[in-house]
Chains A and B, each alone.
Chain A
Amino acid sequence: MSETKPLVEVQDLKKHFPVSRGLIFQRNVGLVRAVDGVSFSIQRGETLGMVGESGCGKTTVGRTMLGLYPATSGKVTIDGDDILHLKGNDQLRVRRKAQIIFQDPYASLNPRWTVNSIISEPMRVHKLFATEKERTERAKELMQRVGLNPRLLNRFPHEFSGGQRQRIGIARALASDPLFVVCDEPISALDVSIQAQVVNLLEELQDQLGLTYLFIAHDLSMVRHICDRVAVLYLGVMVELADRDELYEKPLHPYTKALLSAVPIPDPRKDRARKRTILTGDVPSPLNPPSGCRFHTRCPIAMEVCKKDVPEWREAAQGHFVACHAV
């Protein structure tokens, strides 16, 4: 696997949002370092999970690497093309290969468009078919593929349930025949019984179409289920990255350990018998991230060195990367 060239490569990606004060004379008073130097790669057909608490920058990574937010710095290569630095038609050509599924199936679909126009839109943008009729045919095919009745083609989003809307969002993402899809918390807004349906659909589509996923989520149990490798983010930086079972069975970073121990197990005896590491306090503000290791303010094993020096990102075991002084 490691011999082949990865489909997606992200190098030192940064996204800083300026914070401004004042109504007329706006001045910048600080920077929110939402993503502060993140690097990773994803192989063809692989699913990389990205987890962390809210505010850790996982959604910003997904959006910035597709160019939905202009990146502050860094490089993103998808299938050999530098997606962030291309212009015009070249950019359009690359964007066709990378799509996104959003978290909120209510806010991410235009309520005044029919399902047909929502799903056909990427085909129109990328000029994929000559006629509207062909696009409609393709939209029907896509509906079938994601488990929607093609006869509902001319309905509006409000006529569908949350799970069905998420299927519309998936069909739209597939409309441009992408190689890579960012799934940004695609199931968080859905009920438990519907979550499994959507996750199974994403897996089936991956098998059939050979898709590559970046799966962003805060549900660590679901991430263990669907992902091949998992990256843990804290305050805009990556703290650990490893194969799925390695990360869940042998976590190295104290943050990963605390995160995993906080997830409840649906088994009363097992859950009660567990030893929990309960983190104190909240994630610090990304306006003013702590010095040294960003986790030192909440870390149960923080040492003097953690306050001063940024820990080095290194390979602690085969394919298992971590940034911690104590490891």
Chain B
Amino acid sequence: MTQQPLLEVNDLRTRFHTPEGIIHAVNGISFQVSEGETVAIVGESGCGKSVSMMSLLKLIPQPPGEIYSGKAFYRGENILSKSEQEMEDVRGKEIAMIFQDPMTSLNPVLSIGHQLTEALREHLGMTLEQAESRAVELLDQVGIPDAARRLHDYPHQFSGGMRQRVMIAMALSCTPSLLIADEPTTALDVTIQAQIVELVTRLRESLHMAIIWITHDLGVVAGMADRVIVMYAGFIVEEAQVEELYDAPAHPYTLALLAALPRIDRRRDQRLKSIPGAPPNLLLAPRGCPFAPRCEFALDKCRQENPILTGIAANHQAACWVDVKTGGLR
């Protein structure tokens, strides 16, 4: 395990300057992704999970956004200090991204074939014929029937699940080493979600690709992730191997999220345990732990000082003063 990680993010911070004030979207997150590993980032809307990934690829419009601290080493090189031109070689070729809504990320007036071959010709310098035959291969690979004919179809002629497959085909076109999937199945039905999860899992194995899977659903990542990162209010609050996280969640927020989730495999015994209140307003710089106002374990110290992420077991880190097993200070 002395191997260099594929991606190493150190103290990434992103904020947005708005007329109302400064929004602290990402507040110093650090994590690593190894080659071929699947890491899930879980959190509710506004927790900074998407913004942190967009920051990595420098897809944040600056201004109003500002990445004001942090380094992100991809294969040992800090990609955050790269110029826009250098980033174009990283995006798509090394790190590819797929988004939640495939309809808005595809150009509605260009055929699927046009959009697929563009990247191949741009990044890999293929001729049109080469690019087209590769595009057919890619559509085949992601399970689109009758790929050669569908190359000339437009996005609206595909269903939601099929569009997400097209997006995946586009993302894979330059065989990236890291795929960032931003809530790729949230807009889809469970049956289609199962298809997409199965497809990505199969591709990950055959292409030996690392995956960062962003989601708000602790259910969908349980079966596919190696490691899970939980975010709240722009902070990483817990990080653990997948079994460890579900067996022994150490942060009250993770605990509460799991308790708020109804289970399809269990008979109902009581009301759901809901989390009171709402996520914090990111306009106000947090004092103390950002989860403290909603936390059932909160002590005085939690309201004064924000805990930092510390190791509590092998491959398990949490940012919490409290030991949730005893209710006292850790």
* Most chain A CB neighbours (cut-off 10 Å) among B189, B267, B273: B189
What is the CA–CA distance of A97 and B217 in the complex, to the nearest angstrom? 36
Instruction: Bits for A261-281, please: 1 = Cβ < 8 Å to B, else 0.
Output: 111111111111010101110
Contact at B262–A221, with CB atoms within 8 Å?
yes
**Chain A residues closer than 8 Å to B216, beta-carbon distance:** 191-192
What is the CA–CA distance of A260 and B217 in the complex, to the nearest angstrom? 17
What is the CA–CA distance of A319 and B218 in the complex, to the nearest angstrom? 34
**Chain A residues closer than 8 Å to B279, beta-carbon distance:** 191, 193
Q: Does A196 contact B (CB under 8 A)?
A: yes
Contact at B264–A248, with CB atoms within 8 Å?
yes
**Chain B residues closer than 8 Å to A196, beta-carbon distance:** 260, 272-275
Q: Does B278 contact A (CB under 8 A)?
A: yes
Tell me the residues in window 228-285 of chain A with beta carbons closer than 8 Å to chain B beta carbons.
244-245, 248, 258-272, 274, 276, 278-280, 282
**Chain A residues closer than 8 Å to B265, beta-carbon distance:** 265, 267, 270
Tell me the nearest residue of chain B to A227, going by C-beta: B268
Contact at A264–B219, with CB atoms within 8 Å?
yes
**Chain A residues closer than 8 Å to B194, beta-carbon distance:** 261-262, 276, 278-279
Contacts A191-B216, A192-B257 given; indicate if A268 touches B246 (C-beta within 8 A). yes
Contacts A265-B219, A265-B265 given; indicate if A278 touches B198 (C-beta within 8 A). yes
Contact at A225–B272, with CB atoms within 8 Å?
yes
Tell me the residues in window 109-167 of chain B with beta carbons closer than 8 Å to chain A beta carbons.
159-162
Q: Does B190 contact A (CB under 8 A)?
A: yes
**Chain B residues closer than 8 Å to A191, beta-carbon distance:** 44-45, 216, 279
Tell me the nearest residue of chain A to B244, going by C-beta: A268
Q: Does A68 contact B (CB under 8 A)?
A: no
**Chain A residues closer than 8 Å to B246, beta-carbon distance:** 266-268
Contact at B278–A194, with CB atoms within 8 Å?
yes
Q: Does A320 contact B (CB under 8 A)?
A: no
Contact at A266–B272, with CB atoms within 8 Å?
no
Q: Does B220 contact A (CB under 8 A)?
A: yes
Contacts A53-B189, A192-B44, A245-B267 given; indicate if A163 touches B278 (C-beta within 8 A). yes
Tell me the residues in window 35-86 of chain A with beta carbons closer than 8 Å to chain B beta carbons.
53-54
Tell me the residues in window 175-199 of chain B with beta carbons closer than 8 Å to chain A beta carbons.
189-195, 197-198
Tell me the nearest residue of chain A to B267, going by C-beta: A245
Number of A-B contacts (CB under 8 A): 128
**Chain A residues closer than 8 Å to B159, beta-carbon distance:** 282
Contact at B198–A266, with CB atoms within 8 Å?
no
What is the CA–CA distance of A276 and B264 in the complex, to the nearest angstrom? 14
What is the CA–CA distance of A287 and B159 in the complex, to the nearest angstrom? 15
Q: Does A200 contact B (CB under 8 A)?
A: yes
**Chain A residues closer than 8 Å to B261, beta-carbon distance:** 192, 221, 266
Q: Does B223 contact A (CB under 8 A)?
A: yes
Q: Please give the number of chain B residues whose Cβ is less than 8 angstroms from any Cβ of chain A in the complex.
A: 46
Contact at A193–B193, with CB atoms within 8 Å?
no
Tell me the nearest residue of chain B to A225, going by C-beta: B262
Q: Does A195 contact B (CB under 8 A)?
A: yes
What is the CA–CA distance of A164 and B278 in the complex, to the nearest angstrom? 10
Chain A: number of interface residues, binned into ranges? 35 or more
What is the CA–CA distance of A220 and B271 in the complex, to the nearest angstrom? 16
Contact at A265–B222, with CB atoms within 8 Å?
yes
**Chain B residues closer than 8 Å to A270, beta-carbon distance:** 265
Contact at A263–B267, with CB atoms within 8 Å?
no
Contact at A224–B262, with CB atoms within 8 Å?
yes
Contact at B243–A268, with CB atoms within 8 Å?
yes
Q: How far is the CB of B46 from chain A (nearest CB, A)?
A: 9
**Chain B residues closer than 8 Å to A164, beta-carbon distance:** 278
**Chain A residues closer than 8 Å to B273, beta-carbon distance:** 196
Tell me the nearest residue of chain B to A261, going by C-beta: B194
Q: How far is the CB of B136 from chain A (nearest CB, A)?
A: 20
What is the CA–CA distance of A193 and B46 in the complex, to the nearest angstrom? 13
**Chain A residues closer than 8 Å to B242, beta-carbon distance:** 268
What is the CA–CA distance of A245 and B198 in the complex, to the nearest angstrom? 28
Instruction: Bits for B220-245, please: 1 = Cβ < 8 Å to A, else 0.
Output: 10110100000000000000001100
**Chain A residues closer than 8 Å to B162, beta-carbon distance:** 282
Q: Does B174 contact A (CB under 8 A)?
A: no
Contact at A224–B272, with CB atoms within 8 Å?
no
Q: Does B256 contact A (CB under 8 A)?
A: yes
Q: Does A20 contact B (CB under 8 A)?
A: no
Tell me the nearest residue of chain A to B145, going by C-beta: A281
**Chain B residues closer than 8 Å to A218, beta-carbon distance:** 189-190
Contacts A163-B278, A191-B44, A191-B45 given; indicate if A266 touches B192 (C-beta within 8 A). no
Contact at A282–B192, with CB atoms within 8 Å?
yes
Contact at B191–A53, with CB atoms within 8 Å?
yes
**Chain A residues closer than 8 Å to B264, beta-carbon distance:** 220-221, 224, 248, 260, 263, 265
Known: A259-B190, A264-B217, A267-B246. 12 other contacts (CB 8 A): A163-B278, A193-B44, A193-B257, A193-B260, A196-B273, A199-B274, A220-B190, A244-B268, A260-B264, A265-B219, A265-B265, A266-B258
Can you give 11 contacting A-B residue pairs, CB < 8 Å? A54-B189, A192-B216, A199-B272, A218-B189, A225-B272, A264-B220, A265-B263, A268-B242, A274-B223, A278-B195, A279-B195
Please report B residues at the A interface, Cβ cutoff 8 Å. 44-45, 159-162, 189-195, 197-198, 216-220, 222-223, 225, 242-243, 246, 256-258, 260-265, 267-268, 271-276, 278-279, 294
Q: Which 7 A/B pairs are nearest by Cβ-Cβ distance?
A: A271-B223, A225-B262, A196-B274, A264-B219, A262-B194, A193-B275, A196-B260
